[in-house]
Structure 1
Amino acid sequence: MEIQFIRHGHGDHLLDYPNRLDTMHPGLTDYGKMQISNLRSQLSFNSDDLVLVSPTKRTIESALLLTGSTSFTICPLVGPRMFPQNPELPFLKCDYIYTRDEISSLYKNITILDLHLECWGEGINRIKQSTFEDYAWKLLNWIQGRHKKVFIISHDGTITNYRVLLGEKELSRNDFLGEAGVYKMNL
């Protein structure tokens, strides 16, 4: 199985960093939209690929621009996740995820993947590492055998957490992809 992790483009909450990190549901800036539009020519999506998207406005906007359609699936298991974990840091509003009802109301015809895990409230951002690993393996096992190619449109911390889970060693914040970055893994 091939997984391509894609980091969303430049978000509104970064325009006046760090003063706007408490912005609820920030979208993409014009620059972020341009970054994702430029990335689109480098990627190809097939009808049998799975495109999983974090339930945040900036990742959904990135998915809409990348795929040119609503042929993707929103899943809280690829939502924002802090890296490295530090329970003493505050929960920032920019990392709140949309609820299922908000997604259904705002984005018609988008599929929601719900594996019936306790992650729709605050998402996966601050859950214990062991819980994250359990949930992430459930998602990866669900994908296995269903899809040969998976795109995950997410956030730097989440992508790095998945890379560690999948065996990469000694990663740090220096390994973040950055805006509209792509990282490919074969499992």
Structure 2
Amino acid sequence: MELIFIRHGQGEHTLAIPNSLHVKNPSLTAKRIRQAKLLRGKFTLTEEDIIFISPLRRTLETALIWSLDVDCRKIVSPLVSPRIFPFHPNGKTLPCDIVINLQTIKKEYPNLEIDMNVSPDLWSGGINTMPEIDFNIIVQEFIANLKSLNKDKIYIVSHDGTITAYRQFISGRSLSRKDFPDETGWFQINVDL
């Protein structure tokens, strides 16, 4: 099975760092909306495809722009929400990385599926500051669930730290912030079935 991780487009929270990191639930910038549209040329979606999406506005917007007019499965999951990378035991979740409330997602994005195979705690806290040992267990379970979908490929729209943390776990290689994908950048990795 091939996992294709795609980083969201540029969010408003990156325009005036560090102060902009305190913006809650930032959207994509106009420039990155155009960038998200370019994903259509890189990855042509069909109705058979599945996209897992982090429950933050910038990832939801990226996935919805990319998949416009394609009736594929779009599943919102906190298992691909922001992740501090490299992990810091005393790290704090910044306002720009707070997971959107589950009720808000259901109300504002009624056509998206909700990943209900996760603990309610993950819907309120996400994986951002989860201890490494717990994160590794979550990743193993998530990949096992993905394999059970019996797809050759699955798309995941997420965040630079999350993508790099998953890549490190799956590959067994030590990675750094230098390995972060660019905005709407992507990374493919095969997972044995």
Q: Same fold (TM over 0.5)?
A: yes
1:90-149 Cα shifts (integer Å, max 9, x gaps): 320000011210100111111001213231111000011111111111111011031221
RMSD value, Cα: 1.3
- TM-score normalised by length of structure 1: 0.95
Which one-letter code corresponds to 1:153 in the other structure?
Answer: V
* 1:176 aligned residue: 180
Q: How many residues align?
A: 187
Identity of aligned residues (%): 35
The aligned residue for residue 26 of structure 1 is 26
1:59 is matched with: 59
Query: Match for 2:82: what amino acid?
Result: P
Q: Is residue 16 of structure 1 aligned with residue 16 of structure 2?
A: yes
User: Which deviates further from its counterpart, 151-160 or 91-100?
Assistant: 91-100
CA contact (8 A) 2:92 2:129 kept: no
- Give the conservation status (yes or no) of the 8 Å contact 1:26–1:94: yes
The reply on whether 1:108 has 2:105 as its aligned counterpart is no
Instruction: Work out whether residues 49 and 148 of structure 1, in 8 Å CA contact, stay in contact via their aligned partners in 2.
Output: no
- Matched with 1:47 is 47
AA at the equivalent of 2:108: L
CA contact (8 A) 1:3 1:184 kept: yes
Give, in whole Å, the separation in 2 of the partners of 1:182 and 1:40. 13
State the shift of 1:21 in Å: 0.2
1:147-162 map, 5 Å: 147-162=151-166
Distance in 1 (CA, whole Å) between partners of 2:111 and 2:75 is: 10
Check whether the contact 1:9–1:180 (CA below 8 A) recurs between aligned residues.
Answer: yes
Alpha-carbon distance between aligned partners in 1 of 2:98 and 2:34, rounded to the nearest angstrom: 24
Structure 1 or 2: more helix by fraction: 2
CA contact 2:91–2:129 (8 Å) conserved in 1: no
Runs of 4+ in 1 over 6 A off after TM superposition: none
Gaps of 5+ in 2: none
Choose 131-140 or 82-91, whichever is displaced more: 82-91
* SS of equivalent residue, structure 1 residue 115: coil
Residue in structure 2 matching 1:124, options 123, 127, 131: 127
Contact 1:85 1:126 in 2 (8 A): yes
Structure 1 residue runs of 5 or longer lacking an equivalent are: none
2:138 corresponding residue in structure 1: 135
> Structure 1 stretch 55-64 or stretch 14-23: which is displaced more?
14-23
User: 1:3·1:149 contact (CA, 8 Å) conserved in 2?
Assistant: yes
2:7 counterpart residue number: 7
